[in-house]
């Protein structure tokens, strides 16, 4: 399994967590923030990001606000109350998964 496959499975969690921390963000801003946080080791492609954003919006986890910036329309995404609950649930699942993987791969280390 490549890193890209692992990242793809975590994309929803990444998006929700960033929006929880930042409040509202537009798509390109999300990709750049991920690069910044990971020191360029993770690169989210627009072809993966936007379908995930649209799915989260359709599920009621995100709202979209359009703003005109330099003669362009920029869509800002933010969490709905339901999205905030989903973020907490997904982060909890991720922590449990990481703890289980740590127990399997290196039982001497405690998370």
pLDDT in tens, 54-110: 999 999 999 999 999 899 999 999 999 999 999 999 999 989 988 888 888 887 765
Please give the torsion angle defined by the CA atoms of residues 23, 25, 31 and 35, in that order, rounded to the nearest 10 degrees: -40
What separation in angstroms does the CA of 71 have from each of 2, 52, 68? 39, 26, 6
> DSSP string spanning 32-44?
HHHHHHTTTS---
Mean pLDDT computed over 13-38: 95
Least confident of 4-8, 14-18, 24-28: 4-8
Q: Which pTM does this prediction carry?
A: 0.83
Query: Going from the N-terminus, what domains does the chain have, and what CATH number goes with each?
Result: 5-105 (1.10.10.10)
Instruction: Quickly count: other Cβ atoms within 10 Å of residue 51's Cβ.
Output: 11
């Amino acid at each position: 399994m490549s890193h890209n496959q692992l990242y793809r499975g975590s994309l929803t969690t990444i998006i929700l967590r960033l929006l929880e921390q930042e409040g509202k963000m537009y798509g390109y801003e999300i990709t750049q923030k991920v690069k910044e946080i990971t020191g360029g080791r993770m690169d989210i492609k627009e072809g993966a990001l936007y379908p995930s954003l649209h799915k989260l919006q359709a599920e009621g986890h995100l709202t979209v606000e359009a703003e005109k910036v330099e003669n362009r329309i920029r869509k800002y995404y933010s969490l709905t109350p339901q999205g905030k609950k989903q973020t907490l649930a997904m982060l909890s699942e991720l922590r449990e998964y990481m703890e289980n993987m740590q127990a399997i791969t290196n039982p001497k280390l405690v998370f």
